[in-house]
Amino acid sequence: MKAFIALSLLGTTLAAPTATLQGRDFDLSSLTSGLSALTSGSAASSGSSESSGSSGLSALASLFPSSGSSSGSSTGSSDTTSSSSSGSDGLSSLLSSFTSGSGSMTENGVTQHSGSCKKLTFIFARGTTEMGNMGSVVGPEVASQLASLTGNQVTVQGVNYPADWEGNMSLGSSGGPTMASYVKEALQQCPNTKVVLGGYSQGSMVVHNAANSLSAGQLSGAVLFGDPLKMTSVGKLSSSKVKEFCASGDPVCENGMNVMAHLSYGADAKEAAQFLVQAAGISS
Ligand SMILES: *[C@@H]1O[C@H](CO)[C@@H](O)[C@H](O)[C@H]1NC(C)=O
């Protein structure tokens, strides 16, 4: 239940900042320092040294007083109202540190194929409520790391699927068939390209679903971030071609309580890209 509330808050966080999301570099450290500045800011304004609860969840919950469903009466101390103004300042700086990194939030390199074949094709499924078809937490950053590692020898496609809460209940079937169809389309356009997949959160389940309907030879690797199904295989891909990133405390891929951990995967983009390049046997 707590995790559900946390994820609802997360959804709010990701869905709200349309204006501030674009064009800034994703930087986990600024995110984290934004959060801790926030928390210490409200402690300072209340003049108390109490370090309350201090899980990412309670810190986040205090940022969204209106969306806390159980908050008819606050369980926190009486400084809740006095800290709310510093809270919203902190909130906007927190939100402005979410970004699409150096890549783009929407990529259609397969569905709008230009005709020039690349060594690698990267197809990515974003997480619940993320925007565009690549989202902003990790997909665009992996794509741009792949471009720099391969000397731009990569075609990138985001999965066009709803990525909504309802679809999240269906364990990936709301996007899996679409993702699988992109794989086949890519191989038809460019029979020698190596197709690798990526998914974040709900998008990881999309990857599992897609891979289940593909043959071993059609896929060369996969990276999954915050994957609820991390204990299950990715279709017929050998486990040596799959890398799971699960941040410590992530409530989605392990039984953690740290919502911020679920937003931290931009920091793994480079390692993920290196893994994919190696799994696909691409040399730049
Ligand atoms: C989506 O569904 C999975 C599997 O039931 C669950 O673990 C996860 O918490 C849900 N929410 C998100 C944002 O992935």
Over residues 46-90, the pLDDT tens digits come to: 333 333 333 333 333 333 333 333 333 333 333 333 333 333 334
Other CB atoms within a 10 A radius of the CB of residue 153 amount to 18
- Over residues 1-25, mean pLDDT: 39
Checking if the pLDDT of 92 tops 50, the result is no
Which atom of ligand 1 is nearest the CA belonging to 262? 13
Q: What is the DSSP letter of 239?
A: G
Please state which of the ranges 48-52, 111-115, 203-207, 249-253 shows the lowest mean pLDDT: 48-52
In sequence order, the 6+-apart residues with CB closer than 8 A to the CB of 244 are: 223, 224, 227, 230, 253
Closest CA to 19 of 92, 101, 127, 107: 92
**Taking the model in full, what pTM does it have?**
0.69
Place of tokens 């891979």: 211
- In whole angstroms, give the CA distance from residue 28 to residue 18: 19
* Domains of the chain, CATH where assigned: 18-96 (no CATH), 120-279 (3.40.50.1820)
Copy the structure tokens of residue 101: 């990194």
Q: Using alpha carbons only, what angle is made at residue 35 by residues 79 and 23, rounded to the nearest 5 degrees?
A: 135
Checking if the pLDDT of 262 tops 80, the result is yes
Phi, psi for 264 (deg, rounded to 5): -90, 0
The answer to whether 208 is a known catalytic residue is no
The answer to whether 250 is a known catalytic residue is yes
- Over residues 155-170, mean pLDDT: 96
What share of the chain in percent tops pLDDT 90?
Answer: 62
pLDDT of res. 102: 65
The residue with greater pLDDT, 100 or 198, is 198
Which atom of ligand 1 is nearest the CA belonging to 128? 13
Catalytic pick from 204, 262, 264, 268? 262
**pLDDT tier for residue 103 given thresholds of 50, 70 and 90:** confident
| Model confidence pLDDT, tens digit, residues 164-214 | 999 999 999 999 999 999 999 999 999 999 999 999 999 999 999 999 999
Q: Which helix (H) or strand (E) holds 192?
A: none
Ligand 1 pocket check: which of 12, 168, 200 to mutate, most ligand atoms within 8 Å of Cβ? 168
